Amino acid sequence: MAFLLLPFVGALEAAVAAVAGVAVVGIPVLAGLAVGESVFRPGINEDVTHPAPRVDIDDLQKKLDKSRERMAELEGQLVKSRERTAEHQRQLVKSREITAELQRQLVKSREITAELQRELDECMMAKPKLKVEFEVKVKLIMELELKINLQLEIEGTIRLELEECKVRKDELQRELEECREEKVKLQLKLEVCKVKKGELQRQLEDTRKAIWVLAKAIVAATKAYDAEKAKMMKELEELKSKQLRK
């Protein structure tokens, strides 16, 4: 926080130095009046101004706007990532249900196949239709196994995509938090700059008023000195005239 105040402290010191400079200049001027030198005359330019210190608020405002835009972009990406994650989770649940159903069918088919095999062994010669039914069941089992393997591959792919979405969501969440922190910092800097600018403007007005009062006092002192000088010169001339008469 200290490094943020350095520019404003420097500007404040410059303003104080300006006031001090006027005060210091006033001393030799008044001293000159004592030796008969007139420094200020009527018609002097009494409007003494100093340029107001410049505080770079626009740059901070631009950074704050960029931070807000980046935060909105990250929030949109985070919403999309959450939607994709939810969709993958629904697909994964559906895939697991299909896999479980296929596995139940496989168990049932194996049980039927075993039963048919026993019946086939007992009635091979008497019941040729059982052999055909057995071959059909074996073919069905093979098809179910292929479907299960394919479904497991799909399930693995969905898991990988789900993990990628979770990683991306975490990254977006971190970036969003960083943008929020940066936004807060920039807002604090902006508020500090506004406060310092107001303080410096008030100090500048006070300095102008002090210079105006000092200038009026010097002009008044100069007029009084000129009047006193004229009076003394007149008295000196009268004294010289009296001496010449003697």
Give pLDDT tens digits for 133-159: 788 888 999 999 999 999 999 999 999
Task: Work out the average pLDDT over 90-113.
Answer: 88
In this model, does residue 1 exceed pLDDT 80?
A: no
If pLDDT is split at 50, 70 and 90, which confidence band does 37 have? very low
Residue 84 DSSP one-character state = H
Model pTM?
0.36
pLDDT at 154: 93
pLDDT digits (tens, 9 = 90+) for 194-237: 999 999 999 999 999 999 999 888 988 898 888 888 888 888 88
In this model, does residue 6 exceed pLDDT 70?
A: no
In this model, does residue 178 exceed pLDDT 80?
A: yes
pLDDT at 242: 77
Amino acid identity of 109? S
pLDDT at 125: 67
Q: Tell which residue, 17, 46, 12, 38, has the closest CA to residue 199.
A: 12
DSSP-derived secondary structure for 103-170: HHHHHHHHHHHHHHHHHHHHHTTT-HHHHHHHHHHHHHHHHHHHHHHHHHHHHHHHHHHHHHHHHHHH
- SS3 state of residue 219: helix
pLDDT at 113: 83
CATH of 54-210, one of 1.10.287, 2.30.30, 1.10.10, 3.30.40: 1.10.287
Task: Work out the average pLDDT over 102-106.
Answer: 88
